[in-house]
């Protein structure tokens, strides 16, 4: 490790490095921008910096051309992504966010996301501080849920093993807190916190923070609901006789790529080995610090942990982590992932409390005609003493319901459309937010998904597979929030109405699908799926999933080492 030349990419630093470096620990001139009433947006540097505070500047892209003609700027607003390690939120907190969504967001919704948290969409600049103060009053913040930092830490939301979940969840909180930025910028800028005359320090993240986003999970096998291979750092819970004894540590997953740039690709995480519980935070810190120092700060497209591993080698990276943490990884403990979906409906935990998992299409909690999801959640929050858990599949668990309230909660859930009768296919389908709010979106995702699923349902029925399902995911751009790069059928937005079609992931989320056709329309995609589902129906082996079938039958090649074969 003495030869730093190979470990650090030399060259002109990426623009974001200047922005971070000059930001005075993420303050920038955000406060000045808040006072500028000529625009609803932020200036370019602050546009980047507010992400570290959990917000993205967005606008309603549907009406962007119309407003340009009206000589009005785009309808700038911010999206806020809260920090909720493990997706856990209390009823009291729920009521507060429900009200804020009504009063101050243009879309009026609470959007559950694949990062196991919620987003507000459409908050105007004059209401941003109020939003943070409202959240702060109920103990929620949005620190580091975006930007080049360790983001919201995910945790399997399996409700059956409550005590085990509780332990894992506590680790998710500890890791999140440990890796959080220490700057007082958030408190000063948004909460009118006192300006303390001390120099900020970032002992873990450094004054330039990380080279790129960094994502962490705590996962309880056999569930892989958090999709470990989409994350930089994963702690796989290992138990012995029902007791958590430590973690296997998986490093370097990630799905983002850039269209047309073959130096970017989705990549699965590598198993570094097993550690005991006491070493958890030290290892987390060492992985982050190694990536902090070795990650590519010249080219942001190659800045994530996965590329650092490819460049320096997994062994070199792992040895550095061991050295920095002063912990040696032992042999990985055996574990297996069997699936990723949520268990819908009621389950009783070992503690005797009841948990209701509700299917929320697209994670969008809003009142629809005949489906008053938002009112339903609010009504439940008003009587429910427990908590809600957002899942990494964008669903909602009403957790810890005492026996005497179960009937009441169920009645409310039924009356408000929170327990819909939907097909397995719909449950196994997912989309990111995309248009009209996401500035990166290239094609529809959330708004297209419901109809797309209906079409796939009819294709399955047509080929006599109505009870089967395919892990089907749409993501509006190659950054991949919709995790299409771990689907059996994955669509990646390429342009309006056009997608790259990927095939060949598996149900457990341990295989990356390969591109089958580039830049094709929804109609072309359905025609291809019609053909392939037909082949699957006639040629499948017992219980063979669609993704396994297309590989075995040679429709598509298997991606084994994506650095080498994803584009091959």
Partner 1 sequence: MSNQQNFGPGSVVDPNQLNQITQAIAGLNASQLTWVSGFVAGLAAAQDPNAVNIASSATTSVAEPAGSLTIIYGSQTGNAKGIATAYQAKASEAGISAKVVSMADYKPRQIKNETHVAIVVSTHGEGEAPDDAVELHEFLGSKKAPKLPNLKYAVLGLGDTSYEFFCQTAKDFDTRLATLGATAIVERVDCDVDYDSVAAQWQDDVLAKIKDDLTAKTTHVPVAPAANSATVASIYNKKSPFAGTLLTSQKITGRDSIKDIRHIEISLEDSGIQYQAGDALGVYFLNDDTIVKRILGAYNLNEDEMVTVGEESMTLATALTEKCELTLSYPTFIKALAESTGDKALSTLLADKAALREYLVPRQIVDIAIDYPVKLTSQQLVDACRPLTARLYSIASSQTEVEDEVHLTVALVEYEEHGFVHQGGASGYLAKRLEEGASVKVYVESNDNFRLPSDPNTPVIMVGPGTGIAPFRAFMQERDAQEAAGKNWLFFGNPSFTQDFLYQTEWQSYVKSGLLSKVSLAFSRDQAEKIYVQHRLIEQGAEVYEWLQAGAHFYVCGDANHMAKDVEQALLNIYQTHGKQSADEAKQSLLALRKAKRYQKDVY
Q: Which residues bind partner 1 (CB under 8 A)?
A: 37-40, 63-75, 124, 126, 259-261, 442, 494-498, 518-519
Residue 432 has a CB neighbour count (10 Å cut-off) of 27
Q: How far is the CB of 130 from partner 1 (least distance, A)?
A: 11
- Report the residue number, 319 or 528, with the smaller CB distance to partner 1: 528
- Report the residue number, 435 or 449, with the smaller CB distance to partner 1: 435
Q: What is the distance between the alpha carbons of residues 528 and 517, in angstroms, rounded to a whole number?
A: 10
Q: How far is the CB of 493 from partner 1 (least distance, A)?
A: 10
For residues 240 and 164, the answer to whether their CB atoms sit within 8 Å is no
Q: How far is the CB of 39 from partner 1 (least distance, A)?
A: 6
- Report the residue number, 439 or 539, with the smaller CB distance to partner 1: 439
- Report the residue number, 61 or 174, with the smaller CB distance to partner 1: 61
Q: How far is the CB of 135 from partner 1 (least distance, A)?
A: 21
**Cβ contacts of 537 within 8 Å, gap of 6 or more:** 463, 464, 465
Q: How far is the CB of 561 from partner 1 (least distance, A)?
A: 24
261 - beta bridge partners? Answer: 258
Q: How far is the CB of 556 from partner 1 (least distance, A)?
A: 19
Q: How far is the CB of 460 from partner 1 (least distance, A)?
A: 30
Q: How many angstroms separate the Cα of 554 from the Cα of each of 492, 500, 516, 528, 558?
A: 22, 19, 12, 15, 9
Q: How far is the CB of 73 from partner 1 (least distance, A)?
A: 6
What would the 3-class secondary structure string for 492-504 be?
A: EEEECCEEEEEEC
- Report the residue number, 371 or 498, with the smaller CB distance to partner 1: 498
- Report the residue number, 221 or 493, with the smaller CB distance to partner 1: 493
Sign of the Cα pseudo-torsion (435, 98, 454, 481, in order):
positive
**Nearest CA among 281, 249, 286, 255 for reference residue 268:** 255
Residue 404 has a CB neighbour count (10 Å cut-off) of 7
Which regions of 349-495 does DSSP assign to beta strands (E)?
354-358, 364-365, 367-368, 371-372, 387-390, 396-401, 429-431, 472-475, 489-495
- The catalytic site residues sit at 81, 151, 213, 215, 432, 438, 477, 481
Q: What is the distance between the alpha carbons of residues 419 and 409, in angstroms, rounded to a whole number?
A: 11
Task: Please calculate the CA angle 305-310-311 and round it to the nearest 5 degrees.
Answer: 95
- Report the residue number, 61 or 408, with the smaller CB distance to partner 1: 61
**Cβ contacts of 158 within 8 Å, gap of 6 or more:** 164, 165, 220, 223, 225, 343
- Report the residue number, 65 or 139, with the smaller CB distance to partner 1: 65
Beta pairing, strands 429-431 & 472-475:
parallel
For residue 43, is the peptide bond before it cis, meaning its omega torsion is within 30 degrees of 0? Answer: no
Helix (H) or strand (E) holding 23: none
**Cβ contacts of 358 within 8 Å, gap of 6 or more:** 344, 395, 396, 397, 398, 413, 418, 419
Q: How far out from the chain centre does Cα 109 lie? A: 18
484, 488, 493, 497: CA torsion to nearest 10: -150
Q: How far is the CB of 106 from partner 1 (least distance, A)?
A: 9
Q: What is the distance between the alpha carbons of residues 25 and 300, in angstroms, rounded to a whole number?
A: 20
**Nearest CA among 420, 423, 349 for reference residue 386:** 349
- Report the residue number, 439 or 464, with the smaller CB distance to partner 1: 439
């Amino acid at each position: 490790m003495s030869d730093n030349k190979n470990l650090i990419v030399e060259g002109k630093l990426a623009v974001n490095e200047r922005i971070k470096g000059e930001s005075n620990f993420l303050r920038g001139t955000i406060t000045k921008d808040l006072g500028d009433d000529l625009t609803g947006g932020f200036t370019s540097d602050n546009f980047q910096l507010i992400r570290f505070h959990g917000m993205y500047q967005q606008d309603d892209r549907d009406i962007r051309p119309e407003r340009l003609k009206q000589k009005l700027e785009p309808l700038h607003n911010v999206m806020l992504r809260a920090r909720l390690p493990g997706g856990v939120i209390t009823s009291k907190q729920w009521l507060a966010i429900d009200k804020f969504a009504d009063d101050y967001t243009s879309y009026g919704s609470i959007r559950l996301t694949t990062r196991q948290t919620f987003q507000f969409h459409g908050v105007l600049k004059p209401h941003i501080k109020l939003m943070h103060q409202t959240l702060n009053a109920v103990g929620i913040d949005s620190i580091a849920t975006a930007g080049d930092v360790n983001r919201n830490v995910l945790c399997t939301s399996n409700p059956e093993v409550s005590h085990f979940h509780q332990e894992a969840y506590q680790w998710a909180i500890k890791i999140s807190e440990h890796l959080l930025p220490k700057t007082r910028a958030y408190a000063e800028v948004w909460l009118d916190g006192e300006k303390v005359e001390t120099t900020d320090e970032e002992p873990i993240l450094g004054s330039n923070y990380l080279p790129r986003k960094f994502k962490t999970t705590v996962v309880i096998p056999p569930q892989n609901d958090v999709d470990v291979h989409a994350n930089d750092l994963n702690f796989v819970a290992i138990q012995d006789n029902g007791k958590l004894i430590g973690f296997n540590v998986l490093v370097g997953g990630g799905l983002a790529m850039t269209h047309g740039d073959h130096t970017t690709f989705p990549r699965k995480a590598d198993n570094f080995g097993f550690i005991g519980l006491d070493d958890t935070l030290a290892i987390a810190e060492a992985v982050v610090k190694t990536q902090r120092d070795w990650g590519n700060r010249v080219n942001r497209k190659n800045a994530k942990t996965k590329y650092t591993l490819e460049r320096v080698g997994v062994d070199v990276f792992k040895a550095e982590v061991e050295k920095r943490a002063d912990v040696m990884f032992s042999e990985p403990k055996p574990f297996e992932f069997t699936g990723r979906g949520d268990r819908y409906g009621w389950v009783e935990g070992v503690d005797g409390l009841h948990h209701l998992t509700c299917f929320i299409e697209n994670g969008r909690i809003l009142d629809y005609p005949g489906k008053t999801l938002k009112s339903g959640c609010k009504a439940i929050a008003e009587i429910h003493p427990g908590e809600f858990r957002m899942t990494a599949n964008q669903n909602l668990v009403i957790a810890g319901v005492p026996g005497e309230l179960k009937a009441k909660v169920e009645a409310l859930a039924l009356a408000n459309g929170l327990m819909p009768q939907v097909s397995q296919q719909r449950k196994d389908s997912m989309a990111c937010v995309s248009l009209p709010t996401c500035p990166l979106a290239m094609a529809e995702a959330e708004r297209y998904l419901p109809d797309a699923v209906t079409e796939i349902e009819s294709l399955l029925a047509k080929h006599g597979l109505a009870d089967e399902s395919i892990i089907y995911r749409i993501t509006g751009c190659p950054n991949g929030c919709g995790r299409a790069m771990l689907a059996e059928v994955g669509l990646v937005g390429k342009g309006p109405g056009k997608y790259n079609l990927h095939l060949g992931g598996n149900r457990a989320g341990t295989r990356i699908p390969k591109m089958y056709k580039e830049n094709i329309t929804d109609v072309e995609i359905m025609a291809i799926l019609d053909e392939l589902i037909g082949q699957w129906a006639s040629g499948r082996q017992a219980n063979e999933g669609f993704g396994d079938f297309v590989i075995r039958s040679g429709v598509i090649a298997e991606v084994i080492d994506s650095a080498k074969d994803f584009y091959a």
